[in-house]
Every structure is written in C-alpha cells, then in structure tokens.
Amino acid sequence: MYIAIEGIDTAGKSTQIEKLQKHFEDAIITKEPGGTEVGKEIREIVLSTKAKSKKAEFLLFLADRAEHVKEIIEPNIGKLIISDRSVVSGVAYALVQSEISQTAILHLNRFATGGIYPQKIFLLKLTKEELEFRLSQKKLDGIELRGVEYLLNIQNAIIEAAKLLNLELIIIDATKSIEEIYNEILNNIKQ
C-alpha cells in the first residue's frame, strides 16, 4: 500500500512518519520533494526560492515527482510505502499559484507519475492560530516566509487536489496529541 502524509509546514508530518517507521520496520519511507538524489537538489532549489517563475517551480516539482516514482515508488509498489507529501501537494501548490490551468496541472502530474498515486492520503490539518504559534517557534524557509494565509490556502488546496485526483483523503486534526494522531493514522492504515 502506498500512503502519503500531507500537511502544511509544522503540521507534524515528520513526527508521525518517525513513529510509523518504528511500527512498520519494513516500510519504505520517502518524501517528495527530495526522496531521490536528483530530488534533493531540486528541493534545495525550490526552498531557496531561486526560481522566480512559478511555472519553473511547478516544472521542478514535476521533475522531482517523475524521478521519485521511477526510483522509489515503482520498484516498491508491493510494499508499504509511506511518503512525506505526494502528488497531492504538488497539485495543491500549483492550484494556489493560479498560473497553470487545472486541466494542465492534472495532465502534467499524471504524465510525471504514470498515473501512480497513493491509495490513502492523511492530511494533518492545522488551525490558523496553531499555525501562527508553530511558525513563531522556528526559523522560516522560503515557502514558510510566504505567510500564514498562503499556507492555509495550500492546506485548503490539498483537500481540493485530493478530490480532483479522486483519492481517499483522511483529515486529521493536527492540534490533537501526537499519540492521538498516530493512532488515527494507524487505525486507517490497517483498514
């Protein structure tokens, strides 16, 4: 089973993936962008905000996604794959940019993934207040510097993207305790 843990920055994806990795020792743990060698370089470019064109940023994400599917997802498709982000984030970010048509976003992502999508998406959803608090506790990267409203728009776009891709989306309140979130994810994986 291929699942993805989605959420905006500071939602707790890394914490949950660490816990899942301990529970499912044989699982393939990966992330997007940056799950491959090429992906790491692309991730650095995107987070540095060197690309001034939103179209260029979108195409960089597509390049990472294509490489990720080819190197990580396809060879392990019969195993449990747990990904920190997925095509859903890619579609969400592109929807928020509003520079590319919805049809083009969906077609280009289908091209990049070969139509291989996660079977289940877990969205760790934050409130505006919790997001503001969590961002105030850390040094912000290029994406986070775009602001709270931008990140909340991404969060809403993740929900829209899952619908457009016709993927199962499980929304989890990210303000719950780490253990409550973990148990909710675990129970849904085992179904």
Instruction: Check residue 142 and give its pLDDT.
Output: 63
The reply to whether the predicted model has a pTM over 0.85 is: yes
The pLDDT-based confidence of 182 (bands split at 50, 70, 90) is very high
For residues 67-87, average pLDDT:
96
Taking only the tens place, the pLDDT of each residue in 24-44 is 999 999 999 899 999 999 888
Choose which CATH entry (3.60.20.10, 3.30.70.120, 3.40.50.11270, 3.40.50.300) describes domain 2-189.
Answer: 3.40.50.300
Q: What is the 3-state secondary structure (H, E, C) of the chain?
A: CEEEEECCCCCCHHHHHHHHHHHCCCCEEEECCCCCHHHHHHHHHHHHCCCCCHHHHHHHHHHHHHHHHHHHHHHHCCCCEEEECCHHHHHHHHHHHCCCCHHHHHHHHHHHHCCCCCCEEEEEECCHHHHHHHHHCCCCCCCHHHCHHHHHHHHHHHHHHHHHCCCEEEEEECCCCHHHHHHHHHHHHCC
The pLDDT-based confidence of 141 (bands split at 50, 70, 90) is low
